Amino acid sequence: MDNESPGASGAINYQLSIINSFLTHLASERRLSPHTVSNYQRDLKDAFRLTGQRDWATLTVHDMRSLVATLHRQGKGGKTIARLLSTLRTFYSYLMREGLARDNPAVDVRPPKSGKRLPKALDADQVGQLLDAGMEKDDPLSLRDQAIMELFYACGLRLAELLSLNLDSLDLSAGQLLVTGKGNKTRQLPIGKPALTAVRRWLKARTLFIKDSEEKALFLSKNGRRLSPSSVQQRLKRHALERGLDDHLHPHKLRHSFATHLLESSGDLRAVQELLGHADLATTQVYTHLDFQHLAQVYDGAHPRAQRRKGDDEESS
């Protein structure tokens, strides 16, 4: 026998009918796509179930926060919860317009922050697979692309930093690169031998791309202008696929690989911070997937003021 009373069943059906009226409004008045309407329907039915199938007009901001907490415990991500809250805010605006609710309990509720997703670093073999394969090619475009990829990995450059490089950014005799980063801050970076060789080879080929003798950009497109971000991203993706790597390879992944490999080899977090151009050590921590315990060990072992003499703890206690 069904334990649900006829009255309760009727109340639930009424609340579900309100959802259906709202979905009709989305499809007919707002002309949203069937896919979008289906997403609204799924979100509202989930919310209705998780809030105990109560009258929409009785739900409060505390109920909304409880709903967010429940979804978070279930492992739902910040973006998923944010979308559901957005659905509820839109739904309650409709209810208020129709006189079915007095306020919008979802309006000031915020989802948990989504964790920053970082690209997985290439391992050393994958970097070799990408870069070594281009060393034998001598056509102008390949020479340019090889120099670009070598600099990304050798210097940990951001895409915008690489694109802003000019001829006078290079000091070939000293093997150094002057980079302008975020906040217009400059930093001097060493260039490793493979990258230096690749850049020298490109500079010889660069003369074939020159259309305007006044153009100072280090890397030129076939029309003689400074390269665009999309051009570099597309060329990098192409070379990765040709060399058996996945199609998600992009400049930031090479920067991340640079930071990870350098830190694994040196353990010098401050040096990596300087090379990446990070103002905050916490940003370097995120890039390199370090946990706090490892950070603390590096700090305690390297920072002069962190190295306490034996007996200091006893004296201060």
HSE, side-chain direction, 13 A CA sphere, residue 34: 0
* Active-site residue list: 158, 182, 252, 255, 278, 287
Residue with tokens 């915008």: 160
HSE, side-chain direction, 13 A CA sphere, residue 113: 3
Strand locations in 43-151, DSSP E?
none
Helices and strands (H and E) in the chain: how many: 14, 3
d(CA 202, CA 218): 9
The tokens describing 187, both together, are 């930093």
**Phi, psi torsion values for 294, nearest 5 degrees:** -65, -40
d(CA 209, CA 215): 11
